[in-house]
Chains A and B, each alone.
Chain A
Amino acid sequence: MVVFQEDLCKGCSLCVDACPKHILQISMTRINKKGHHPAECIDQEKCISCAFCATMCPDCVITVER
């Protein structure tokens, strides 16, 4: 599963592009402390813990657990 430290997210969506399971998206309904729409996971069950999202995240927002 992926855990987002949401207040660090700048909504660049590089994790969304990298996810092979297409379970990440930019939340258009929420805003974080920085004023960005943060990335979120829509289906933790489908996560395969490949850490591609965390590899491409420029801001170390994502922790990946198995």
Chain B
Amino acid sequence: MTVFKKPHALTDAPFHYCPGCTHGIVHRLVAEVIDELGIEGKTVGVAPVGCAVMAYDYFSCDMTEAAHGRAPAVATGLKRANPDNIVFTYQGDGDLASIGTAETVHAAARNENITVFFINNAIYGMTGGQMAPTSLVGQVTQTSPYGRDPSLCGYPVKICEMLGELEGPEYLERVAVNNVKNVKTAYKAIKKAFQNQIDGRGFSLVEVLSACPTNWGKTPSEALKWIDTAMIPYYPLGVYRDRTAGILPDSFKEGTV
């Protein structure tokens, strides 16, 4: 009996990612959920610019490519033109949290009925390890060789917290893929994000804390530990907004203005 095999929604193309890059795990989780929900035939994915730019080669559902950062805008068009399709975007932090912040915020504010996967690895991977908006304070990158200095570069952007303050979005959760338990939680979050769209509830975003061993200058094992010791303390895991379940940020609770 087969307990575990490659999901059907992934093609046979080998991933081009570096050894130990957790993009592969997230790709697989998305594909597993597509398999489980049986929506491969009507799913359309939007690939970003960044390390995952060739995601269209890896998913066997329909895929399209968006201009840098504009995946939520392209997904909005796809979903509005064909409301029966299930539309998801798969974006990194350079795409979603930097050049595409406006599209992300406004898609969330409009509560567009799309699903967004945000892969946060705190660095620009594809271009060779420059500082990203999500790079941690003190993190050494190619463009911050003495560590990120907040007086010069500001503080890292917390997308889930930021979007949580909007009236619009339905579901925001931050997960990680650095150990088996967190991967299982990530699977559930991704499934919920797709289910919300099938049920017509609106904008769902799952932020996945991901490793970039190559540009962090760590071994794959050290990189996963670094997520635990450095990233999760700054980017706490959990559900930031789930309107149907009544989980809202404090500012929305009764008694606060």
Contact = CB atoms under 8 A, between A and B. Distances in A.
Nearest to B2: A65
20 contacts: A12-B19, A12-B20, A14-B20, A14-B220, A49-B3, A54-B4, A55-B25, A55-B183, A56-B183, A57-B24, A58-B22, A59-B15, A59-B17, A60-B6, A60-B28, A62-B4, A64-B4, A64-B5, A66-B1, A66-B2
Interface in B1-18: 1-6, 10, 14-15, 17-18
A63 B3 CA distance: 8
Contacts of A25: none
Interface residues of A, number: 24
Given A13-B220, A64-B2, A65-B3, A58 B23 contact: yes
A63 B6 contact: yes
Interface of A: 8, 10-14, 17-18, 36, 49, 51-52, 54-60, 62-66
B224 interface: yes
B20 A63 contact: no
Given A8-B14, A10-B20, A58-B23, A63 B221 contact: no
B40 to A, nearest CB: 16
A10 B20 CA distance: 8
Nearest to A54: B4
Q: Which of the four size classes fits the interface of chain B?
A: 20 to 34
Contacts of B1: 65-66
A59 B5 CA distance: 11
B52 interface: no
A18 B221 CA distance: 10
Contacts of A36: 19
B21 interface: yes
A65 B24 CA distance: 21
